[in-house]
Amino acid sequence: MSEQKKRPATKMVPVQTHAIVPDRDADKSPILECHHLGIDFGGLTAVNDFNLMIGRTEIAGLIGPNGAGKTTVFNMLTKVYQPTRGVILIDGHDTSKMSTAQVSRMGIARTFQNIRLFKEMSVADNVLVGLHHEMDYRLPSAILRLPDFWRGERIARERALELLSIFDMQDMADAKAGSLPYGAQRRLEIVRALATNPSLLLLDEPAAGMNPSETSDLMDNIVKIRDLFHIAIMLIEHDMNLVMGICEGICVLNFGEVIAKGSPDEIKQNPVVIEAYLGKKDKKEAQ
């Protein structure tokens, strides 16, 4: 682990770029590159020939009908699944030999479609697990309660509360994570992911189960997070208002294949996408 350079702790200093500049990342190397990525489960090809590049501070969307393979892409990016084919480069580094934990330390953090919190632990402790590598005291210091333990814990706890305050959750710090309402659990997953100091945040259906007002708060917060932390965000979402509202680039999957890529306007007008995805939805809504 130690050969990886320690990234400096992100500072929570707001920057003024609220205006979205699509090519502001153009002159910098992409944070994520996927080349011909694919995975088979037995005989089933779940994802095939998936190519993607994400800019340093881009908000990208990954959409597609149920079972298209979106979550599977996230699972490959985080090495929960080992891709059958293709290359993933994080910040130019090949991840083929890395574990999930190593990929996290390279700067990818994620949330889960089916919430995966540490349910028996407190809200603050969930975030503190995310801050694990930000603390540098060793086990003997913890057992003997040496000064560097107290210092590390104090700084981490302050940081945890600061991160929770993004979603105004600092008052719930001592509640048990499993006892939170659904929407708060989803937000806690985002905070926990942010605690790892990522450069790319993957959100798997962050608005699922949220009501319209929660969703609109979430949209503001996703943009706010990008602006505060200067990170790239890729999200999977079925809520088209959210996707079209905040994503700068969108990638559409259908049956494991990319059928379209482009800006929200391009995607909205793409006949293939309308046919595969939006069309069905419109029909459903019309009924």
Partner 1 sequence: MKNLKPHTRRNLITFIGLAVVWIVVTVLRGQGVLGRSASGLLVPICCYVVMALSLNLTVGIMGELSLGHAGFMGIGAFTGIIVSQSLMRAVPSVPLRLIAAMLVGAVFAGIFGFLIGIPVLRLRGDYLAIVTLAFGEIIKELITCLLVGVDEHGLHIIFNYKGLKGVEDLHLSETGQVIIKGAQGATGTQPIATFNAGMILIFLTLFIILNVIYSRTGRAIMAIRDNRIAAESVGIEITRHKMIAFVMSAAMAGAAGALYGLNYSNLVAAKFDFNTSILVLVFVVLGGLGNMRGSIIAAVLLYVLPEALRSMHDYRMLIYAVVLIAVMLATNSPIAQSFFARFRFGRKGGDEE
Ligand X SMILES: Nc1ncnc2c1ncn2[C@@H]1O[C@H](COP(=O)(O)OP(=O)(O)OP(=O)(O)O)[C@@H](O)[C@H]1O
- Which residues would be at the binding site for partner 1 (CB under 8 A)? 1, 78, 80, 99-102, 104-105, 109-110, 112, 116-121, 125-126, 128-130, 132-133, 135, 137, 139, 142-145, 149, 152-153, 156, 174, 192-193, 195-196
| Nearer to partner 1 among residue 28 and residue 132 (C-beta) | 132
113: contact with Mg ion by CB under 5 A = yes
| Nearer to partner 1 among residue 149 and residue 229 (C-beta) | 149
- Contact (CB, 8 A) for 161 and 106: no
Contact partner, 64, from Mg ion, ligand X, partner 1, none, Cβ < 5-8 Å per class = ligand X
Using alpha carbons only, give the angle 138, 142, 143 rounded to the nearest 5 degrees.
Answer: 120
Find tokens 């707001």 and name the residue.
Answer: 14
| Nearer to partner 1 among residue 198 and residue 249 (C-beta) | 198
Contact pick of 33, 54, 62, 71 for Mg ion (by CB under 5 A): 71
**From residue 55 to residue 94, what is the string marking binding to ligand X with x (rule CB under 6 A)?**
---------x-xxxxxxx----------------------
- Which listed range, 81-89, 111-119, 169-177, 181-189, lies at the site for Mg ion (CB under 5 A)? 111-119
Contact pick of 102, 113, 122, 221 for ligand X (by CB under 6 A): 113
Q: Which of 200, 218, 201 is nearest to 209 (CA)?
A: 218
Supply the minimum distance, in Å, between the C-beta of residue 111 and ligand X: 13
Contact pick of 46, 123, 276, 278 for ligand X (by CB under 6 A): 46
| Nearer to partner 1 among residue 9 and residue 272 (C-beta) | 9
| Nearer to Mg ion among residue 71 and residue 185 (C-beta) | 71
Supply the minimum distance, in Å, between the C-beta of residue 144 and partner 1: 8
- Which listed range, 86-94, 108-116, 120-128, 239-247, lies at the site for Mg ion (CB under 5 A)? 108-116
Q: If DSSP states are collapsed to H, E and C, what string results for the chain?
A: CCCCCCCCCCCCCCCCCCCCCCCCCCCCCCCEEEEEEEEEECCEEEEEEEEEEECCCCEEEEECCCCCCHHHHHHHHCCCCCCCEEEEEECCEECCCCCHHHHHHHCEEECCCCCCCCCCCEHHHHHHHHCHHHCCCCHHHHHCCCHHHHHHHHHHHHHHHHHHHHHCCHHHCCCEHHHCCHHHHHHHHHHHHHHCCCCEEEEECCCCCCCHHHHHHHHHHHHHHHHHHCCEEEEECCCHHHHHHHCCEEEEEECCEEEEEECHHHHHHCHHHHHHHHHHHHHHHHC
* Contact residues for ligand X, defined by CB under 6 A: 41, 44, 46, 64, 66-72, 113
Residues near Mg ion (CB under 5 A) are 71, 113
